[in-house]
Structure 1
Amino acid sequence: MSSVTDPSADTLVVLSRRNVADGVVSLELGPRPGEPPLPHWEPGAHIDVVLPTGVTRQYSLCGPTDDTTRWRVAVLYEPDGRGGSRWIHDNVREGGELRVRGPRNNFPLRPAARYRFIGGGIGITPLLPMIAEAEAEGADWSLLHGGRTRSSMAFLSELECYGERVTVRPQDEYGLLDLAAFLGDPDPSELVYCCGPAGLIDAVEAHCASRPAGSLHVERFAAVAQGDSTDGTAEQPVEVELRASGVTLTVPPELSVLKALEKAGVTVLSSCEEGICGSCETAVLEGEVDHRDSLLTDDERAANDTMLICVSRARGGRLVLDL
């Protein structure tokens, strides 16, 4: 995990903290007085929040993209998580400081004439700036937003201004989201964007299976279970050459490539260590990758020129990385 000594992390001031739903706090972060404005970002971007505990967590930016004075994130309290959200809820206050990296965008909004947005719970956060951009561009769009209860769904008041384009369906009032009715028949001019819990994303993927490749874009909170080797063979040692460093090492079956590099004293940015955030993405110069991430597209995997070294390994036992 990354630590607070990470030189790539910047210190930002907590400008505000608000409770925006049951178990959800909204934080606005800005530069210290006298420091440069925040960098520009695009809808779908997130930042890494590097906590004093050494834990790093990713949160989607969900405020106006043109505001360089502050970034807004929302943090859901997860009692069964690994402690990041608990620390933020218990310790972060207005006037305090947080160390962050980014922004980085693994979930960009592609140009389209028509969008269908589907948000589940806190998964509404990356969709908010996407909706604002779609509206500004004059695109045809609609949102289906679900959650456990209405009181658990953040930013509902901000969505009211869009009128009938937004359909809010708390589960305790309506049951499961009616994806078939919302998505309708496949439309080649339409892109579908979904963020939320694994069950929702799996259901949306099933409904969109007959749509053209590239029509569906999702962002997951947790990695898809991959097992061991994706080709069903037993785990094998991997020889990894770091071309720029002039180092070659053997990664044993019980270690990830990332952990083996760290053990050898090679520093690589990392965060989730589950193959979902993209911070450890590394260029591949030679060798065939056994992709086990939940981030790269099928086309990116087929290109075989990048990998997430926290989870992916090699087919054939050898890789050359641009490190």
Structure 2
Amino acid sequence: MRIATLNMQNLRLMPDGTLFGARDRDDVEDPALDQADRRLTAALLAQANADLLAVQEVFDQASLDAFHDRYLTRVCAPYPWRLCLPGNDGRGLDVAVMSRFPWDHAASHAGMTAGDLGLDPPPGMSCDQPIFRRDGLEVRFGALTLFVVHFKAPYPDAARAWAVRRLEAQAVAQLLAGAGPMWLVAGDLNEPGGASERAVAPLEALGENLMRRLAEAERWTYFQPDERRYGAPDGLIASPALAARLEGVVPQVLRAGMGREAGPDGAERLPESGLHRPHASDHAGVVLDLERVRSSIIGRRLRG
């Protein structure tokens, strides 16, 4: 069993029936590039060869289904179970899961407030305002509980964004209290490098961020071309019980779908990748192999 996480960069089904490319709003509008982007997104996920995909920046269920049916199933086995529930992002960029086996339970926590959990919100944020900028999507597979997250980005006000991200981390930490001994938090933590104290520290104190098993120079999963800046916002935080069962297992970072501008020169890229675009995303994919604990956490459903 393999789990992969990827920020899909603005996956949205447009009113004309096309899919928005892996681009920001200020990037060049080119339908041919948009289609090539999504072919590369699908190719990267096929390379991941995961049984379960935890993805971010998906506009809605229709966008997820359109990408799956038009692009993903052309290059890999299908994911019959797919879920993208409405979140809190004003642009509609939510978190989602795609799976090759059914889940036992799935729940959105998009409506959860600081008041619900007895947490103190940052100044200017009321106790009845939703905590999550997108959602904390909880999906249970047998003994494993997965939380898919996409925390607040570190802009435009870095200090306030840190406080919001800390609140999101505290909320997930409380939710984990009811998750049992085997849990995994996967997604875009949006934690920038160089912070004296990580906003996601409450989560990392409860388990192990498996990305730390990689050498520091190998952890990067994001590239900002205009600033030539590398970052490691994507995380896989495992419960102590799961981390212990995965002793020696190191996540795999898949950068083959990124633009060729993200060095070093000559690094492996999918054939259709361009200098900046087309690309699968501005994030790399991250894969975690759970084969060692597959039978104990999922049981018989994956056998045959």
Calculate the TM-score normalised by the size of structure 1: 0.29
- Structure with the bigger RCO (C-alpha within 8 Å, sep 6+) is 2
Calculate the TM-score normalised by the size of structure 2: 0.31
Question: Greater helix share, 1 or 2?
Answer: 2
Question: Greater strand share, 1 or 2?
Answer: 1
Larger Rg belongs to? 1
